[in-house]
Structure 1
């Protein structure tokens, strides 16, 4: 298992087809053994080898457990499933997502290949709405629509289960969400066929590999909202929240994955989105896309008139203006 930490694009023990499908098929368990600065704190423990309906395939169930020698306590990090396939040439490992979704309904819609949970009904209207947004995004980037595989799950627990987890603490959080992955894959935990935020990430990854995460999340939120709500909704929500909390300095919350929320609204995501909206309103599309180019974050911000000293004031002013949308979308 340690060989997975040596390369993200090749592994003798892993199915070569997986690298075409997922690009980085074991990303979820890459360096999973580490805890902060401690290497190999969490050790793999084989829990069970599970039979499947194919004789040559088994599910390998592995727990990653850390032991604190000072307290003599054990800590469970993850329980993860890996598919092992035996052939004449030996055994190869692979990502288990396709195994866990092999009986899910497959529906083709435009450039989208939906994979639908058996615990929900396919929503035709949401799919049509998603196709329209993809057309607008593709036009914005001057490209053809990307072929996207969209896993539509009912909640976070189901999402993590099809990604191979029996246990991951995130899977038990309230609310929905989702993620995008290389090779144009979207995982939605919103019980919805519409998730422009994550699809926007795929377009950003396709054309702007070097990017500041603040602008990556900001652009996705500006174009596609976040979770189940549009950018316009989040803007109104944040405006109300900041009016009630005038002491908050937005320039101190530029780490996009800081868990700082105004109800359903991620404040760091919205800071990035407001920067994008202000840039588009004042400078246009070219400058907006320039935020996604390689560069130091404050250099890019300075180029659109934002500094550490004025960012809080400028973004609060932007909140008071009606939305200026780069693509028309609906609440």
Structure 2
């Protein structure tokens, strides 16, 4: 299971959409501030459940030409809209400037002791057209104006001025992509690829001061967005094949529990191969005989460098591929549950899963 997903599922049950509060000291007396605040309130309320509002009502055509979903702060944590998570929204300050009204918002939830847990802090810019109708300016567009771009095959790279473009790594990525297209009979996808030294820098470019996914021990990480065919890669430069695999294959099997595993099988995770991660999982399991792997998704964290659930998923894909190649993978990805995967692919019942996975992990980590 991805980090925080269990916690987020609890949040989702709390409210349909958030309400907005003002931090003490926020001045709303100016006319343009009042208008910007009404506009922002309307936008937030338009997120009804999982629905994404009509972006054309809030964003200019120049932004809609770049992305179907120009608001890059919606998916701060996972694929569920930030505004539909039941968070409390507190506007920390509103600052009018010559070009727009800057709204900084804290998204938070209380824990069991009523302490505030901050999920994200966002920055929205509300500008006004010639007839004084409000619209959002995209902080990402503003930030990227200072970045550089380079196109290699079907990849448009975007990178900060300090970065020296590595053509060899880019060539390796496009060779991997060409191989994936050939194996799966797919056509090239035009991809916008954003890279930086770490994920925190990428979140800041998107418009965040903070998200709960920032900080901690620095390790290569990435995020894919199949709505607009873009990837965000921190720490592995021009060759983060893992996230590109998601763009190509996720939509083929939207209900498969092994989407992450397929990407790990083809491209590893956090800069390391499946085998590397399985060795770490083996070491952990040897020290923790009490760990139960029956529910794969609930075994998702050991340390900042390995997600054991992802490693196990990648291992399952690898085991099937060794026997039957891509045809086997295509069959494997059609299952919608782990129950079917273990029973139909390995003839394993639920009560046998823990022992089966422990042995498989130990065996595959040394092959």
Output the TM-score relative to the length of structure 1: 0.81
2:217–2:304 contact (8 Å) kept in structure 1 = no
Matched, 1:157 2:207: no
Most deviating of 283-292 and 264-273: 283-292
Query: 1:28 — aligned with what?
Result: 75
**Pairing partner for 1:8 from 49, 52, 62:** 52
Per-residue deviation, residues 297-320 of structure 1 (Å, max 9, x unmatched): 422442212432333333344331
Matched, 1:203 2:248: yes
Separation of aligned partners in 1, 2:297 and 2:108: 32
1:156–1:173 contact (8 Å) kept in structure 2 = no
Matched, 1:230 2:276: no
2:236–2:271 contact (8 Å) kept in structure 1 = no
Separation of aligned partners in 2, 1:108 and 1:239: 41
Separation of aligned partners in 2, 1:67 and 1:315: 36
1:25–1:94 contact (8 Å) kept in structure 2 = no
Query: 1:173 — aligned with what?
Result: 216
Q: CA deviation at 1:189?
A: 1.2
Q: For 1:1-331, list aligned pairs within 5 A.
A: 1-6=43-48, 7-8=51-52, 10-11=54-55, 12-16=57-61, 18-19=63-64, 21-26=66-71, 27-28=74-75, 32=82, 39=86, 41-45=87-91, 47-49=93-95, 51=97, 57-58=99-100, 60-64=102-106, 66=108, 76-88=118-130, 90-176=133-219, 177-182=221-226, 183-208=228-253, 210-212=254-256, 214-255=257-298, 259-261=300-302, 264-293=305-334, 295-305=336-346, 306-319=348-361, 320-321=363-364
From the superposition, tell whether residues 128 and 59 of structure 1 become closer, same or farther in structure 2 (CA, over 3 Å): farther
2:106–2:118 contact (8 Å) kept in structure 1 = yes
2:181–2:188 contact (8 Å) kept in structure 1 = yes
Q: CA deviation at 1:34?
A: 6.1
Per-residue deviation, residues 206-228 of structure 1 (Å, max 9, x unmatched): 423x223x401111111111112
- SS for the counterpart of 2:172 is helix
From the superposition, tell whether residues 301 and 160 of structure 1 become closer, same or farther in structure 2 (CA, over 3 Å): same
From the superposition, tell whether residues 205 and 98 of structure 1 become closer, same or farther in structure 2 (CA, over 3 Å): farther
Q: Which runs of 5+ in 2 are unaligned?
A: 1-42
Query: 1:328 — aligned with what?
Result: none
Let me know the Cα RMSD of the aligned residues: 3.1
Separation of aligned partners in 2, 1:312 and 1:282: 22
Q: CA deviation at 1:283?
A: 4.1
Q: Which runs of 5+ in 1 are unaligned?
A: 325-331
- SS for the counterpart of 2:82 is coil
Separation of aligned partners in 2, 1:73 and 1:262: 25
Q: CA deviation at 1:130?
A: 1.1
Q: CA deviation at 1:107?
A: 0.8
From the superposition, tell whether residues 311 and 25 of structure 1 become closer, same or farther in structure 2 (CA, over 3 Å): farther
From the superposition, tell whether residues 16 and 244 of structure 1 become closer, same or farther in structure 2 (CA, over 3 Å): same
Q: How many pairs does the alignment contain?
A: 312
Most deviating of 41-50 and 100-109: 41-50
Q: CA deviation at 1:269?
A: 0.4
Query: 1:329 — aligned with what?
Result: none
Output the TM-score relative to the length of structure 2: 0.74
